[in-house]
Amino acid sequence: AKAMGKGCYAIFDEDMHTMAVQRLDIENELRKGIKHRDFVLYYQPIINLTDQSIIGFESLVRWNHPRKGLVGPDEFIPIAEETGLIVPLGEWVLFESCRQMNDWLQRFPSHQEMLIHVNVSGIQLKQAGFPDRVRTCLQTTGLPSRCLKLEITESMLMSLEDRAVTILDAIRKQHVQIGIDDFGTGYSSLSYLHRFPVDTLKIDRSFVLGLDKNNDNAKIVKAIISLAHALGLNVVAEGIETARHLTMLGSMRCEYGQGYHFSHPLPAHQVAGMLGRA
Ligand code: C2E
Ligand code: CA
Ligand code: CA
Ligand code: CA
């Protein structure tokens, strides 16, 4: 057993080495990608569950990799966060999202009340001067502040603790809204929640996907929605994939939702087609 154990360690070390090299490769490629702006944004509609109208879009970044093609964010956001590259990448995402939404508002005046939801990493959020960057972004792109909502994950929010309150206050002073993303996965103490100045709770899709299979899930989703409403927040449910999810969430008085049942995330030209028709 001892000899085997030793062998296992050798293999393990080799794997670790390979992984470290791969990571370094991705880091270097990410650096180049940011320099060359090899990223694109996809946009997923957010729907008013009462009348099924579009209330806005969430922007979701993809890496247009020179060899691999379109790469999803789960493959590079964690590395971008560890290396700090999320700061310049997130800055580009914020500006491009606001620029694009303002463009749609100009071209489709019947959709004046649309919001753009932009994902912001905690690493980005805690950079000194982030609220000023948001202000500059709105000034530069011309997007009205009421049309921007920043999404911060529950776990990032909890790890920032009191610092988050100060930063979010400075952002909300500009009438930019805040949503808590992936709610239910961050193990926040519920007694803490009311201290964070936010507008929206987004229920993580793992709860929504389990809605029709698991009775406990339905109870949890119902409780999250009641809690949010009691705190004066509105609710977006993620991962609505079926008509049944939609019906159940509607009966629980969930206001908004997104998911494959309505639409996958779309490239900008397809969104323009959709807005032109509606
Ligand atoms: P997220 O913010 O929770 O975004 C929702 C994810 O769920 C997206 O994956 C979306 O494509 C996917 N999705 C939407 N509807 C459904 C559905 O009905 N069923 C299922 N199974 N999935 C659905 P995506 O685009 O791969 O993004 C993954 C994560 O990467 C995002 O999760 C977000 O945490 C992160 N991310 C994406 N763009 C950015 C960004 O610009 N900045 C930062 N910091 N993170 C980003
Ligand atoms: Ca999000
Ligand atoms: Ca989410
Ligand atoms: Ca997520």
Q: Please report the ipTM that was assigned to this predicted complex.
A: 0.97
* Dist. CA 181 → ligand 2 center (Å): 5
Query: In a 3-state reduction of DSSP, which class is residue 61?
Result: strand
Which residue owns the Cα nearest ligand 1 atom 14?
Answer: 259
pLDDT (tens digit, 9 = 90+) per residue, 105-126?
A: 999 999 988 999 999 999 999 9
Q: Is 239 in the pocket of ligand 1 (CB under 6 A)?
A: yes
pLDDT of 79 > 80? The answer is yes
Whole-model pTM: value is: 0.93
Q: Are 250 and 243 in contact (CB under 8 A)?
A: no
State which of 34, 41, 57, 60 you would mutate to test the pocket of ligand 1, scoring each by most atoms of that ligand within 8 A of its C-beta: 60
Which residue owns the Cα nearest ligand 1 atom 20?
Answer: 239
Query: In a 3-state reduction of DSSP, which class is residue 62?
Result: strand
Q: Are 246 and 240 in contact (CB under 8 A)?
A: yes
pLDDT (tens digit, 9 = 90+) per residue, 23-37?
A: 888 899 999 999 999
Take residue 95 and report the two structure tokens written for it.
Answer: 């500006």
Q: What is the pLDDT of residue 2?
A: 45
Percent of the chain clearing pLDDT 90 (strictly above):
78
Q: Are 196 and 217 in contact (CB under 8 A)?
A: no
pLDDT (tens digit, 9 = 90+) per residue, 192-204?
A: 788 899 999 999 9
Q: What is the pLDDT of residue 188?
A: 67
Q: What is the pLDDT of residue 192?
A: 76
pLDDT of 93 > 60? The answer is yes
**C-alpha angle 99-179-139 in degrees, rounded to nearest 5:** 30
Q: Is 241 in the pocket of ligand 1 (CB under 6 A)?
A: yes
* Dist. CA 239 → ligand 4 center (Å): 10
CA–chain centroid gap for 198, Å, is 15
